[in-house]
A and B are shown apart, each in its own frame.
Chain A
Amino acid sequence: MTDAPVSTLVTATGIEPVLEPASTSPAPDRKARKKAAKVPRRKITWDRVWAQRALLAMAVPLLMYQILFKYVPVYGWAIAFQDYKPGRGNIWNQKWVGFENFADLFTGVNGERFRRVVINTLGQSILTLVVGTLGAIVLALLLNEVKNMPFKRVMQNITYMPHFLSWVIVASLASVALSLPSSGGFINQGLMSLGLINHPVLFLTEPNNFWGIVAGTSLWKELGWNTILYLAAITAIDPSLYEAAEVDGAGRYRKMFNITLPGIRPTIVVLLIINSGWILSTNFELPYFLGNGLISERAETIDVFVLRYGYQLGNYSLAVVAGIFKTIVAIILVGSANLAAKRLNQETLV
C-alpha cells in the first residue's frame, strides 16, 4: 500500500483541514485555500482500483450492511399504500388503497394535528440542538483553559455521567424536579427560598414552557458527552500556533477566539450537518413521558403521534406514511445544510 491513496482518503473524510494549520500560516488566505480545495480529481482507473483492492475489500461488508439494513427494508413503504393488517399474511397479500393513507394523515383533523406535531418536533429539536451545541462549545473552551488536571477530570466526569442514564430515568427525575414542593419538586423549593417566586409553579401544565424543558433536560443529560468531541478537536490544534500567538502578545481570550474556535470550526460544522438529519427523529422519550393533555399542543412530536395513532391503534399504514415523510424531510435537511456549509466555504460531508 502506498502513501498516496491513504492521504486522498483522509481528505475525502474532511479530517484533513483540522491538520492543515500545521503546514500553513496561522491565518490562511481564503483564496489560496479555495484553490487548494479545487485540485482536479484524479480519474478512476482499473489500475487504481487494483492498487486499493485491500481498502475496497474492507469496505464491502459495510456496504452490504448498508444495503441490507437501509435499502432493502424500503420495500416496506408499500404498506403506505395499503390497508395493512398483520393478520392477512405477508405484505403482498393486502388491500391496496392508493394515496388514501396520505390523505388521512395530511388532511382534516389529523392533518391539523400533524402540522402541529411537525412544528413541535422542529422547535424542540432545533432548540435542543442550538442550546446543546452552544453549551458544549462553551464548556469545552472553559475546560480547555483549566490547567489543574485533577479538577478538569472530575468536572468532565461529572458532566458526562448523566449521558449513561436512560431517558426513562431522566424523564422521571425531571418530572419530580418540576413538580410541587410537597411531591419533591426541588426547583420550586429553590426558587421559593431564593424569593424569586411566591407560589410554586406547575411547570408541566404550561404549554409554552415545554420546549425549554426539553432543551434544558437534554442539555443536562448530554452536555458533558457532547463536549468530548470538541475537546478532542482542540487537542488536535498545533501547539506552535499558541506559542506563536503568545510571542505576538495575544492573551487568553485572543487565543480562544482566534485559534481554538477557528480550529474546531470544521468539527462544529460537520456535527451540525450530521445532526440536522436527526432533527425529525429525535425527541420521542421526553415528550412521551412528560407530555400530558394540558400541554400536548406544544409537547406532542411526530414520533409520539405516530405511536398513538399508528402503532397503538394498529394503523401501521399511517405510521409508514409518517415515516416516509420524515425520511424525505431528513434528506432535504441534510442536503440543504451541506449546501449551506459549502456556500459558506466550510467543510462539508460530501
Chain B
Amino acid sequence: MIPEGDLADKSGTLTPSNPTTLTTWITTAEQAPAADNKLTKLLKDQLGVTLKYEIVTPDNVDQKIGVMLAGGEYPDLIGTTDLKMRLLEGGALERLDDMLDTGDYPNLAEYVKDDIKKMSYSGDEVDKGLYIFPNYNRFYGEPTGGVYYGPAFWIQKRVLADAGYPDLNNMTLDRYFELIANYKAKNPQTEGAPTVGFEVLASTGREWGMTNPPALLAGSPNNGGVIVDDKNHAEIYADKDIAKDFYKVLNQQYKAGLVDPESFTLTYDQYTAKVATGAVLGMHDQGWDFQTATQSLQSAGKDEYTYVPLMPVYEGAKPWYADRPVMNTNQGFGISVSSKQKEKALKFLDLMISEPWQKVLSWGIAGEDYQVGDDGMFTRTEEQRANYKDITWRASNRLTALLDVLPKHNGQFSDGNAYSPDDQPAEFYATLTDYDRGVMEKYGKKTWLEFMNPQPENPKYYPAWNIGLSDDANQVNQQLTDANVQNLPKIIAGDPSQFDANWKAYVDAIHKIDVKVYEDAINAGIKDRLANW
C-alpha cells in the first residue's frame, strides 16, 4: 500500500507495508540522530525505511576505510568523503550508470544529467563511470546564501568593535596582526582564561590551516598545495618566497606572544574546543571547519566572540579567497557492491533528492518548522529559527548526519524558495542577531559573503586540490605534508635569529622529495579536465 501525499514512493519499491532496513555508513562530523527523531519516524511511516547508521568522524576515517576494504563486507549505502577515493578504487562501490539508464530513478538522473563527466570516475583502477553522487554544490538555479564557508583570516567581532570598525578593504597581514595585538594588550583575559591572539590550525588532516595561506596571500584561489598560473601550469609554492614571507611574519608574531604556543600540540577537537571558548581572537581556517565552534558560541548568545572573514593579501595582489561553489566530486553516497538490495538503496537516494524530501530534510515539516506564505515563500518564527540552531533540538528533529552526505538541491526549488533557510535571503537577514546586524550595518553589508571578494568564474579545471592522485603521487604528497608538519612549527616557534637556518632546513627537506611526481600528476589532472569537462 502506497501512502497518500508527495513523500511516498509512487513506484511502490519502498512502502511501509514492505519494510526495508538499509545499513548506512557515513563519514561526517555531524551528530547521529536521537532515538526519538521525528524524521526517522517519517521515513518509516512514508517509505518503510529504517536506516542503521554507522557514523565515522573524518579524523577516524582512515583506519576505518582500511579495515572495511580488508574485510570486503560493506553496508548498503556508503557515504564517503575520502579524496583519496580508496573505497571507490578498492572496489567497494557499485558502478551506477546502467542502473540509472533503466529510467527508474528520474530524480537522480536529473541530478547527474549536466555534470555526468565531472561526477564520473575517470581513473584506471576500476571501470570508468558514475559511482558517487556528489553531496554539495550541484546547483539548481543560481547560488544564493549569506554565510561564508570558505577560507579566510578570521577575526572576532569584538576586536573590530573595539577598533571602531576599521576599514577592512586592502587588508594586509601587518594590519591584521596589529588589530589583534592592540586588542590583546587591552584584554589579556577572556572570561578568566588568557586571551589567545592567533591560533594556527596544524592538526593531522587539517594542516592546510597552516600551509594554504601563502597562496591566498599571493592572490591565488584555493588550489591546495599548488599555484596554477595563467597557462594552467601547476607548481608547489611551499618552498617559494611567498611562503617564506608568511612564516617570517608568523615567527615574529610568535615571538611577540600573539601566536598560541599550544597551536602545534592541539588535536582538531582541542582546537575546536578552544575556539568555542571565545578566547581566540583570530585564525586562518575555512568557515565550515569551525562551524561547530561558531554554533556553540551562537547558542550561548556570545555573538561578539564569533568571527568576520578578512582577506589580507601581499602588496599588489588582488584577493581571491572566495570562489564560486565547487561541486564536491568523489564525496557523497554510493551503493556498495555487497549490498543485497541495490535497487532499494538507489531508490532511497532517488527519493531523497526529490524536491518534497529535500524540503523536509533541509527546512523541516511545513507548519511545524516553517510557514508557507500566501506568495508561496517559506518563512519562520523566532522560535523556529532558534530551534534550527539548537543542537539538542536538531538531534530529535533533523537528520543532519544523513543530509551532510546526501546529494542536495543546492540553489533553488522550482517554487523559488532557496534550498535551505540559510540561503533564503529574507530568512538570512531576519535570523541575524541584533549584534550581528549592527556589525553589518557598520560596514554597509547585507550578508557575510559580501565581506569577501566578488567571485569571478572559476577556471575550467578548478579546483586542483580534488584531483585524484596515483599511489606514487599520493606518497609524495604525504611526504610534502610531513615535511610541512615537521618543519613549519619549528620555523614559526623558533628564535627569529634562527629563522633563516630553519627555513633552509625546511627547503632542503622539500628538495629531497621527488616533488616532480606530484606536480606532474596534478598537471596531468588539469590537462585531463581541460579536455574532458
Contacts and interface: CB of A to CB of B under 8 A. Distances in A.
A261 to B, nearest CB: 42
Interface stretch (B230-238, B470-478, B518-526): B470-478
Contacts of A202: 261-262, 265
A176 to B, nearest CB: 10
Interface stretch (A177-185, A218-226, A327-335): A177-185
Interface string A79-102: 000010111110000000000000
6 contacts: A87-B90, A112-B512, A180-B262, A294-B490, A307-B62, A307-B63
Interface stretch (B219-227, B344-352, B444-452, B481-489): B481-489
Interface in A206-257: none
A129 interface: no
B485 A293 contact: yes
B202 A293 contact: yes
B126 A315 contact: no
A183 B266 CA distance: 11
B513 interface: yes
A131 interface: no
Interface in B244-265: 261-262, 264-265
B91 interface: yes
Contact of A311 (B62, B261, B485, B488): B62
A312 B62 contact: yes
A155 B84 CA distance: 51
A204 B265 contact: yes
Interface string A161-176: 0000000000000010
Classify chain B's interface size. 35 or more
A313 B471 CA distance: 8
Contact of B264 (A86, A205, A309): A205
Contact of B493 (A87, A179, A294, A311): A294
B125 interface: yes
Contact of B265 (A85, A292, A312, A314): A292
Contact of B125 (A85, A312, A315): A85
Nearest to A297: B486
Contacts of B484: 293
A86 B69 contact: yes
A205 B66 contact: no
Contact of A309 (B70, B126, B478): B478
A296 interface: yes
B129 to A, nearest CB: 14
Nearest to A183: B262
Contacts, number: 94
A308 interface: yes
Contact of A313 (B478, B489, B493, B513): B478
B91 A205 contact: no
Interface in B308-352: none
Contacts of A315: 471, 474-475
B197 to A, nearest CB: 14
A109 interface: yes
Interface string A112-124: 1000000000000
Interface string A100-139: 0000000011101000000000000000000000000000
- Residue with the highest number of chain B CB atoms closer than 10 Å, among A109, A293, A313: A293
B459 interface: no
Given A87-B89, A312-B62, A314-B84, A179 B265 contact: yes
B479 interface: yes
Contacts of B166: none
Nearest to B262: A180
B454 interface: no
A294 B62 contact: no
B301 interface: no
Nearest to B67: A311
Interface centre among A89, A204, A314 (most CB of B within 10 A): A314
Contacts of B202: 292-293
B72 interface: yes
A308 B62 CA distance: 9
Interface string B135-158: 000000000000000000000000
A204 B513 CA distance: 27
Given A292-B265, A294-B265, A86 B475 contact: no
B460 interface: no
B35 interface: no
B438 interface: no
A293 B471 contact: no
Given A87-B89, A87-B126, 4 more contacts: A292-B485, A293-B487, A313-B84, A314-B474
A123 to B, nearest CB: 18
Nearest to A290: B265
Which of A85, A86, A202, A311 neighbours the largest number of chain B CB atoms within 10 Å of its CB?
A86
B504 interface: no
Interface string A186-209: 000000000000000010110000
B475 A313 contact: yes
A293 B482 CA distance: 8
A294 B489 contact: yes
B194 interface: yes
B62 A109 contact: no
B495 to A, nearest CB: 14
Interface string A296-318: 11000000000111011111000
A293 B63 contact: no
B386 to A, nearest CB: 32
A112 B207 CA distance: 23
